[in-house]
Amino acid sequence: MIGVLVSGEGSNLQALLDAGLPVAAVASSRRAARALERAEAAGVPSAAFPLDDYGDREQRDTTMADWLQEHGIRLVVCAGYMHLLTVPFLARFPGRIVNVHPSLLPAFPGTRAIDDALAAGVETTGVTVHLVDEGLDTGPVIRQEPVPVRPRETLAERIHAVEHRLLPEVVRELAGAGR
Ligand code: GRF
């Protein structure tokens, strides 16, 4: 069973759902996330765990991990999840948390990866699916695909299209491998 962590639009969550993957729970860091509406429309249990409701990040992450495990989750996918995960969460799903990121890591980590690649003037950027650790987009790479920067006007759209294909592919392989 797959759990998906989200914070916003949820187009990657939608790609996982459309691929028919066994998404059994969706957890959001924000109450107002469009991703929660997508989960509801798909009939997938969802919940918000906003930081403001908890004493600290570890408490929030522990509650979120409890909730995911109650839903039988074995593999966690960060799909546009905008917070770092703390050790109490990572320890509950060792080697079983992946993230999709819109650059060829280790180039352009962080929340502005597409704009940063455009500003840097590189010719090629891309998409990375990687295992999550405590760092900001630092875990071991599982799969990468390059995307040419030009034409610049359509870069974001083309990157998202690659994400929506690559993430379900990798998640299907990991889920099939018993994660
Ligand atoms: C994606 O570009 C993802 O790589 C990045 O945040 C964006 C989330 O988009 N981490 P969405 O919420 O899946 O539509």
Task: Give the start-end residues of each E strand in 88-163.
Answer: 97-101, 124-131, 141-148
Specify which residues 127 forms β-bridges with.
Answer: 145
Q: Please tell me the residue having the least CA distance from ligand 1 atom 4.
A: 101
The predicted structure's pLDDT at residue 24: 98
Q: Say whether 101 is catalytic.
A: yes
State the distance from the centre of ligand 1 to the C-alpha of 80, rounded, in angstroms: 4
Per residue in 73-127, pLDDT tens?
999 999 999 999 999 999 999 999 999 999 999 999 999 999 999 999 999 999 9
Q: Please tell me the residue having the least CA distance from ligand 1 atom 2.
A: 102
69-to-25, 74, 114 alpha-carbon distances in Å: 10, 7, 33
The predicted structure's pLDDT at residue 177: 73
The predicted structure's pLDDT at residue 21: 98
- 168 pLDDT higher than 60: yes
- 178 pLDDT higher than 70: no
- Decide whether any atom of ligand 1 lies within 6 Å of the 164 Cβ: no
Q: Please tell me the residue having the least CA distance from ligand 1 atom 6.
A: 80
- Decide whether any atom of ligand 1 lies within 6 Å of the 163 Cβ: yes
Burial status of residue 125 (CB atoms within 10 A of its CB: 0-12, 13-18, 19 or more): buried
- How far is residue 125's CA from residue 133's CA, in Å, rounded to a whole number? 22
* Angle, in degrees to the nearest 10, between helices 155-176 and 113-120: 130
State the distance from the centre of ligand 1 to the C-alpha of 53, rounded, in angstroms: 24
- 130 pLDDT higher than 80: yes
State the distance from the centre of ligand 1 to the C-alpha of 100, rounded, in angstroms: 7
Task: Give the start-end residues of each E strand in 132-173.
Answer: 141-148
- How far is residue 63's CA from residue 48's CA, in Å, rounded to a whole number? 11
- 128 and 86 Cβ atoms separated by less than 8 Å: no
Per residue in 34-75, pLDDT tens?
999 999 999 999 999 999 999 999 999 999 999 999 999 999
Best CA proximity match to 19, nearest among 68, 77, 70, 72: 77
Task: Give the start-end residues of each E strand in the chain.
Answer: 2-6, 23-28, 46-48, 75-78, 97-101, 124-131, 141-148
pLDDT confidence bin for 179, thresholds 50/70/90: low
Q: 131: which 2 tokens?
A: 């295992």
The predicted structure's pLDDT at residue 31: 97
